[in-house]
């Protein structure tokens, strides 16, 4: 599998020695013990003198990481038949201040502050497997101040200071709109401040999207059967309370459930922007819809989503949102063993190059896991 992947992954590298180093580094990520630092990767390959060579390849070489990421997405597309691009935060705790992008951040999944790097990954996801194909790092500083001062040597070259929401959105759109990439829905697995504006941005790019919304969000109701609510914006809780009788019972795979399947109730309601802003043509073709899910009937919704795929059935939309769980499980099971949190350098370029190859290592880890062989998920993999 490694040879098959490498021939696709490194085809864009212009020199044979670069392709060889790329495969060496990938092999080292898969076999190193402990942290996947460049030193440990070189040592596990049986030649400690490789450390300087691999350090130069990751941090200073001229190869471009974006074509390699595109090749990885293409290779994964043939193997796992992805259903969506899932965008998820990954926290990378750091004890010092010298690594690129280190600062105080909020971990969305542990619900706590941490000191380190905050990255957003775009994951190629199906119900059976998920692997990251693109990354963007949140850089410290205030929004709108541009490239941080003192960022000499191209440390932050090509990046401006962004909010986490902007960082996640940019990471998704720059990959989802690539020429030749499959047009898959984007599942944005983080709460956003202005879901209206975000969905309009994706709609203008022609990209279908599902984004989390909070209980404080407000929308206008556009369901003909709910015309009694008038034209003014309403809180999402009131909108969903009005359609309790229309909930559908939907099952989903859950290895923690006694039967392997967990059931939930879901409903979809057509809505419009609370601000009265015009809806882009791409969004209007599907229409905006609010999706609610209840794990317990008499409690508040466990998840709320806004989408520009209003014509898609609620059960299909719900299956897309559950791909975020698949990403979370595969990150927890394989992310650290692939080295996704282990880059120790100071350059942004080095971080991107390492993350590109660590993403490929993660894909190999996922596809060669025991559950994949036992359950026969991947017939296209030898």
Residue finishing a domain among 254, 276, 308: 308
Q: Is the domain of 69 the same as that of 168? A: yes
Looking at the fold, whether 240 and 91 belong to one and the same domain comes out as no
Same domain, 160 and 237: no
Q: Is residue 249 assigned to a domain?
A: yes
Q: Are residues 218 and 284 in the same domain?
A: yes
What pLDDT, on the 0 to 100 scale, is given for residue 153? 35
Residue 36 located in a structural domain: no
90 located within any domain: yes
27 within domain boundaries: no
109 and 218 together in one domain:
no
- In the chain, the largest separation of any two C-alpha atoms, in whole Å, equals 75
Collect the ranges in the chain with pLDDT lower than 70: 96-97, 141-161, 179-182, 224-231, 251-262, 275-286, 370-382
The answer to whether residue 19 sits within a structural domain is: no
Domain range spanning residue 245?
Answer: 193-308
Those residues whose C-beta lies under 8 Å from the C-beta of residue 169, and which sit 6 or more positions away, are 188, 198, 201, 202
Which of 276, 308, 340 is the endpoint of a domain?
308
d(CA 337, CA 251): 31
Structure tokens at 80: 């796992």
Six-digit token string for 158: 């090509």
Dist CA 301 CA 311 (whole Å): 22
One domain, residues 198 and 303: yes
Residue 156's pLDDT is: 43
Both 69 and 180 in one domain: the answer is yes
Looking at the fold, whether 355 and 267 belong to one and the same domain comes out as: no
Q: What is the pLDDT of residue 331?
A: 95
Residues 158 and 231 in one domain: no
DSSP 289-354: EEEEEESSTTS--SEEEEES-TTS-HHHHHHHHTHHHHHHHHIIIIIHHHTTT----S-HHHHHHH
Torsion of CA 205, 323, 358, 360, to 10 degrees: -80
Which pLDDT does position 317 carry in this prediction?
92
Q: Which of 308, 340, 363 is the last residue of a domain?
A: 308
Coil, strand or helix at 171? helix
- Both tokens of 132, joined, read 């990251």
How high is the pLDDT of residue 245? 72
Q: What is the pLDDT of residue 375?
A: 53
Based on the domain organization, do 283 and 134 belong to the same domain? no
For the chain, what is the domain count? 2
Residue 20 resides in a domain: no
123 and 164 in a single domain? The answer is: yes
Residues 156 and 72 in one domain: yes
Q: Domain for residue 298, yes or no?
A: yes
The reply to whether 140 falls in a domain is yes
């Amino acid at each position: 599998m490694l040879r098959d992947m490498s021939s696709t992954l490194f085809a864009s590298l212009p020199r044979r020695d670069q392709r060889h180093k790329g495969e060496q580094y990938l092999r080292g990520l898969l076999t190193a013990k402990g942290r996947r630092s460049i030193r440990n990767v070189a040592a596990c390959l049986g030649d400690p003198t490789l450390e300087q060579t691999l350090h130069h390849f990751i941090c200073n070489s001229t190869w471009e990481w974006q074509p390699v990421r595109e090749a990885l997405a293409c290779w994964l597309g043939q193997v796992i038949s992805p259903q969506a691009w899932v965008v998820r935060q990954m926290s990378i705790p750091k004890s010092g201040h010298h690594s690129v992008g280190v600062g105080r951040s909020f971990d969305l999944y542990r619900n706590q502050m941490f000191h380190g790097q905050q990255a957003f990954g775009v994951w190629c996801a199906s119900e059976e497997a998920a692997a990251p194909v693109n990354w963007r790092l949140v850089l410290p500083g205030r929004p709108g101040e541009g490239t941080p001062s003192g960022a000499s040597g191209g440390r932050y070259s090509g990046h401006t200071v962004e909010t986490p929401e902007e960082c996640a959105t940019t990471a998704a759109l720059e990959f989802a709109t690539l020429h030749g990439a499959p047009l898959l829905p984007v599942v944005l697995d983080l709460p956003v401040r202005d879901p209206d504006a975000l969905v309009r941005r994706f709609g203008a790019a022609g990209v279908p999207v599902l984004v989390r919304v909070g209980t404080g969000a407000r929308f206008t109701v556009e369901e003909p059967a709910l015309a009694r609510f008038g034209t003014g914006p309403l809180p999402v809780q009131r909108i969903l309370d009005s359609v309790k009788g229309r909930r559908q019972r939907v099952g989903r795979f859950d290895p923690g459930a006694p039967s392997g399947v967990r059931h939930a109730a879901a409903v979809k309601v057509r809505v419009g922007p609370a601000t009265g802003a015009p809806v882009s043509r791409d969004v209007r073709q599907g229409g905006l819809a609010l999706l609610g899910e209840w794990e317990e009937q008499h409690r508040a919704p466990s998840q709320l989503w806004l989408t520009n795929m209003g014509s898609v059935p609620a059960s299909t939309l719900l299956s897309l949102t559950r791909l975020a769980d698949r990403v979370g499980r595969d990150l927890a099971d394989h992310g650290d063993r692939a080295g996704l949190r282990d880059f120790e350098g100071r350059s942004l370029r080095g971080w991107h190059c390492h993350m590109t190859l660590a993403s490929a290592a993660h894909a190999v880890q996922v596809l060669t896991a025991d559950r994949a062989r036992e359950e026969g998920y991947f017939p296209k993999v030898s």
